[in-house]
């Protein structure tokens, strides 16, 4: 048993004494091979003593998986051990369809914190937001659970229900009941927005296996509509595949670096560059981000910002600047481990910092300050003449108000209440106008130069004719 346990643990790499307790800025004290072997022997001894003395029948597989999960969890919040079921679920989710609540979570000092809900899922419809903490699942506290265990408790057969206790910033804990569903993620949605339908709006909810194909389809379709510019919305986008983020950035760039990843060793640097061909035709682009924009979303925002291709608006992003990779162990299980950090083209690390918007636009409530019917008017005078149709109009208004109250908001009304989106669209219009003005100036100068050149040629020709006559 000891030999088998040592072989299993060896697959997870050498252990570092006190890794969970050391501050991030303290140097790591490495163990010698002999010390590592002694610690592994101790771990095997703990396993055997616990198995033989536990008051109930011990589940050896659960114990070993718990040891490996704890080892990886001590490294950072994103490294974990994936059982065969976990690995399969991870693969299914990455390919656009999975069962559950539609919520991306992370570990935060032993608690479960929401990175972002996915669009049009039970979590998003229940009002769960980025930054919320989940303290209980079906009445059981989550502080004793690993991240994978918390995810597993939230998943289940579609149609079944689960209760979550959620704490939002500055609010009392609340319990919400969600019905599990098959989560089908279409990562890219697009449409023309604005009164004149001239703003190309592209919403990316996550970066999956189909995102690259979908972003090209969106840009091709919107270019045919002759839009004047684009709003690229990656708010509350928790990230996904690095390759998808690179492809989305490349779609808007004609050249320049997109991202670099730097690993453990100084020589472990990989740089990715854009290929020629801007599918947006050089038109103005505004990228909307917020504190729920993480990982791949931050790569796209940073790439377009540093290359001067887009203006980034919104609020500070999440700050997940690390690269994870799955390392299969050959028996259907795998390790999900952090292997590198992301850096923007200018060399900025995203980790713990995030992307700072060029123009900060905090999520705000739009409120009408001026009433349509002012309290100060002719009608406010004591002895003013009455309008004979006033009763009819009042009755019509009352009926209309009742109808409005019973009707859900339209997409246009929802857009009007989205302050960040409105400011983003305003900025695209301003940038498009400035671009057009600059183009007009260039065209005017070129026209003026052409006219001068033609006049000079004509003048030289006239001089030559006069000279010939003489």
- Digit-coded pLDDT (tens) for 200-242: 999 999 898 899 999 999 999 999 999 999 999 999 998 988 9
- The verdict on whether 315 is a catalytic residue reads no
Per-residue exposure over 347-380, b if at least 16 CB sit within 10 Å of its own CB, e if not: ebebeeebbebeeebeeeeeeeeeeeeeeeeeee
Find the mean pLDDT for residues 330-354: 93
Could you say which of 86, 306, 317, 418 is catalytic?
306
- Rounded to 5 degrees, φ, ψ at 303 are -65, -45
Q: Is the pLDDT of residue 8 over 50?
A: no
Percent of the chain with pLDDT over 90: 51
pLDDT of res. 466: 56
Residue 123, by phi and psi: left (phi above 0), alpha (psi -120 to 50) or beta?
A: alpha
pLDDT of res. 90: 72
Its sign, for the CA torsion 359, 363, 369, 372, is positive
Could you say which of 155, 320, 322, 418 is catalytic?
320
Its sign, for the CA torsion 13, 18, 24, 29, is negative
Are the C-beta atoms of residues 71 and 16 closer than 8 Å to each other? no
In 83-241, the DSSP E strands lie at: 97-100, 103-108, 111-117, 133-137, 140-141, 161-167, 174-179, 181-184, 188-193, 199-204, 229-233
- The verdict on whether 205 is a catalytic residue reads no
Find the mean pLDDT for residues 148-157: 84
- Rounded to 5 degrees, φ, ψ at 305 are -70, -50
pLDDT of res. 335: 94
CA separation for the pair 51, 63 (Å, rounded)? 9
pLDDT of res. 147: 80
pLDDT of res. 279: 97
Find the mean pLDDT for residues 349-372: 81
Q: Which of 76, 100, 50 is nearest to 340 (CA)?
A: 76
Q: Is the pLDDT of residue 378 over 90?
A: no
Could you say which of 79, 94, 295, 297 is catalytic?
295
User: Strand 334-343 to strand 80-82: parallel, antiparallel, or no bridges (unpaired)?
Assistant: antiparallel
**CA atoms lying within 13 Å on the CB side of residue 52:** 7
pLDDT of res. 278: 96
Q: Is the pLDDT of residue 76 over 80?
A: yes
Q: Is the pLDDT of residue 24 over 70?
A: no
- The verdict on whether 320 is a catalytic residue reads yes
Tell me what the pLDDT averaged over the chain comes to: 83
Confidence of residue 328 (pLDDT cuts 50, 70, 90): very high
Looking at 172-238, list the stretches that DSSP marks H as alpha helix, in order from N- to C-terminal side.
211-224
pLDDT of res. 286: 97
């Amino acid at each position: 048993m000891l030999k088998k346990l040592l072989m299993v643990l060896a697959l997870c790499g050498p252990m570092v004494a006190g890794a969970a307790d050391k501050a991030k800025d303290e140097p790591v004290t490495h163990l010698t091979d002999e010390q590592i072997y002694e610690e592994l022997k101790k771990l095997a001894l703990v396993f055997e003593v616990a198995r033989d003395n536990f008051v109930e029948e011990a589940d050896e597989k659960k114990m070993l998986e718990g040891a490996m999960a704890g080892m990886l969890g001590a490294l950072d919040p994103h490294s974990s051990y994936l059982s065969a079921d976990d690995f399969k679920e991870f693969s299914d989710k990455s390919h656009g369809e999975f069962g559950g609540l539609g919520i991306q979570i992370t570990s935060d000092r032993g608690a479960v914190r929401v990175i972002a809900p996915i669009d049009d899922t039970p979590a998003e419809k229940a009002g769960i937001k980025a930054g919320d903490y989940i303290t209980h699942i079906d009445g059981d506290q989550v502080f004793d659970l690993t991240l994978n265990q918390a995810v597993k408790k939230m998943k289940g057969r579609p149609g079944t229900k689960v209760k979550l206790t959620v704490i939002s910033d500055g609010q009392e804990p609340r319990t919400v009941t969600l019905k599990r569903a098959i989560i089908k993620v279409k990562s890219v949605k697009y449409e023309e927005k604005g009164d004149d339908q001239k703003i190309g709006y592209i919403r990316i909810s996550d970066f999956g296996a189909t995102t690259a194909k979908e972003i090209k389809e969106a840009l091709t379709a919107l270019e045919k509509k002759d839009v004047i510019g684009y709003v690229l919305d990656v708010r509350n986008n928790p990230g996904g595949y690095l390759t998808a983020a690179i492809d989305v950035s490349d779609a808007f760039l004609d050249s320049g670096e997109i991202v670099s990843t730097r690993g453990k060793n100084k020589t472990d640097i990989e740089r990715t560059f854009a290929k020629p061909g801007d599918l947006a035709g050089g038109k103005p682009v505004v990228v909307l981000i917020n504190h729920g924009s993480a990982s791949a979303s931050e790569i796209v925002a940073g790439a377009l910002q540093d290359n001067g291709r887009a203006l980034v608006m919104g609020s500070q992003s999440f700050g997940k600047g690390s690269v994870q990779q799955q390392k299969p162990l050959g028996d259907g299980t795998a390790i999900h481990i952090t292997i590198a950090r992301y850096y923007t083209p200018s060399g900025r690390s995203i980790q713990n910092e995030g992307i700072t918007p060029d123009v900060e636009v905090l999520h705000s409530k739009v409120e009408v300050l001026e009433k349509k019917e002012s309290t100060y008017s002719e009608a406010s005078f004591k002895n003013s003449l009455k309008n004979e149709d006033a009763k009819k109009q009042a009755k019509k208004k009352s009926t209309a108000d009742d109808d409005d109250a019973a009707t859900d908001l339209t997409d246009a009304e929802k857009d009007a209440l989205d302050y960040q989106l409105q400011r983003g669209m305003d900025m695209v219009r301003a940038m498009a106008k400035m671009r057009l003005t600059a183009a007009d100036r260039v065209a005017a100068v070129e026209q003026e130069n052409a006219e001068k050149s033609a006049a000079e040629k004509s003048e030289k020709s006239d001089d030559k004719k006069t000279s010939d006559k003489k």
